[in-house]
Amino acid sequence: AANRRFHPQDTIVEVKGRKIGEGNFTVIAGPCSVESEEQIICVAQEIKKSGAQFLRGGAFKPRTSPYAFQGLEADGLKLLLEAKKVTGLPIVTEIMSQTHIDLFADVDIIQVGARNMQNFQLLKELGHSDKPILLKRGLANTIEEFLMSAEYIMAGGNNNIILCERGIRTFETATRNTPDLTAIPLIKRYSHLPVIFDPSHATGIPWLVEPLSKAAIAIGADGLMIEVHNNPKEALCDGAQSLNFEQFDQVMETIKNRADVE
């Protein structure tokens, strides 16, 4: 169960020998979408140099418009595995359908995006796998609904869940979403699962990534997921919120002094 009452100890999700949760600070970084072999390998090498421990990149993209770039799909997964082979960084990528679970066999952490947080059939089937799951909070879901979605995965026997606060819809339009930082300590009190924060989708604004990352660390986040692109202006998805290599390196320098990132 996600509730701490039934599980007082913090859950530590172990991925490729690395422990996520309980005092270890984890940084996941990479582009919104995998775009080419050169792109994903280049981004992987750069974020590794700056100190990230996981490479992210979307292959199956949940785009608002059906005419927008939908991702490289299965080819994108192959390119992520290629980047993993070159850099040794484990990979995180989003799944959109339970029919793809076999295709994701070599993915280290399967992401369930905000738009699928209540895709209960997907959650149920992921519950029957033993893959670590990065579950993102829905665009307009309460903390209770978020934890119930984690419960769906755990009900099937999979306790390897990392929760990700990525901002919620409010009346405010100055930022893409409104970061709900309160959710971080609140969820850590109610639940034993590790909680990370995604300042890129939460704000939509590159220069806000650093201050919000500091804030998330100060209130106990177990890690961050940050969008980084080789050329944000030309990115096929979420370029406007992506950091370039220099900006990401700067954020990592700043947070290294605050969080326990080696």
Which residues of the shown chain bind Mn ion in the complex (CB under 5 A)?
A: 32, 238
242: left (phi over 0), alpha (psi -120 to 50) or beta: beta
Please check whether residue 20 is in contact with residue 13, taking contact to mean a CB–CB distance below 8 angstroms: yes
Give the shortest CB-136-to-ligand PEP separation in angstroms.
4
- Partner from Mn ion, ligand PEP, none contacting 176, C-beta within 5 to 8 A by type: none
Please check whether residue 160 is in contact with residue 134, taking contact to mean a CB–CB distance below 8 angstroms: no
Please check whether residue 110 is in contact with residue 100, taking contact to mean a CB–CB distance below 8 angstroms: no
Exactly one of 15, 27, 44, 58 binds ligand PEP (CB under 6 A); which one? 58
- Partner from ligand PEP, Mn ion, none contacting 113, C-beta within 5 to 8 A by type: ligand PEP
Give the shortest CB-93-to-ligand PEP separation in angstroms.
9
Please check whether residue 224 is in contact with residue 259, taking contact to mean a CB–CB distance below 8 angstroms: no
Name the segment binding ligand PEP (CB under 6 A); options: 17-25, 110-118, 187-195, 228-236: 110-118
Q: Is 114 near ligand PEP (CB under 6 A)?
A: yes
Nearer to ligand PEP, 1 or 208 (CB): 208
Q: Is 32 near ligand PEP (CB under 6 A)?
A: yes
Q: Is 113 near ligand PEP (CB under 6 A)?
A: yes
Give the shortest CB-230-to-Mn ion separation in angstroms.
15
- Partner from ligand PEP, Mn ion, none contacting 229, C-beta within 5 to 8 A by type: none
Rounded CA gap, 245 and 50, in Å? 8
Angle formed at CA 44 by CA 40 and CA 45, multiple of 5 degrees: 120
Q: How many CA atoms lie within 13 A of 118 on its CB side?
A: 10
DSSP 10: P
Please check whether residue 47 is in contact with residue 20, taking contact to mean a CB–CB distance below 8 angstroms: no
User: Which residue bears the tokens 């969820």?
Assistant: 187
Q: Is 136 near ligand PEP (CB under 6 A)?
A: yes
Q: Is 166 near ligand PEP (CB under 6 A)?
A: yes
Residue nearest to ligand PEP (CB): 113
Residue nearest to Mn ion (CB): 32
Paired tokens of 50: 């700056």
Question: CB under 8 Å to 140, separation ≥6 — which residues?
Answer: 168, 169
Q: Is 138 near ligand PEP (CB under 6 A)?
A: no
- Partner from ligand PEP, Mn ion, none contacting 48, C-beta within 5 to 8 A by type: none
Q: Is 216 near ligand PEP (CB under 6 A)?
A: no
Give the shortest CB-223-to-ligand PEP separation in angstroms.
14
Paired tokens of 139: 């665009």
Query: Considering Cα of 104, then 71, then 226, then 1, what sign does the dihedral take?
Result: negative
Rounded CA gap, 241 and 147, in Å? 27
Q: Is 229 near ligand PEP (CB under 6 A)?
A: no
Give the shortest CB-2-to-Mn ion separation in angstroms.
25
Interface ranges with ligand PEP (CB under 6 A):
32, 58, 62, 113-115, 136, 166, 201
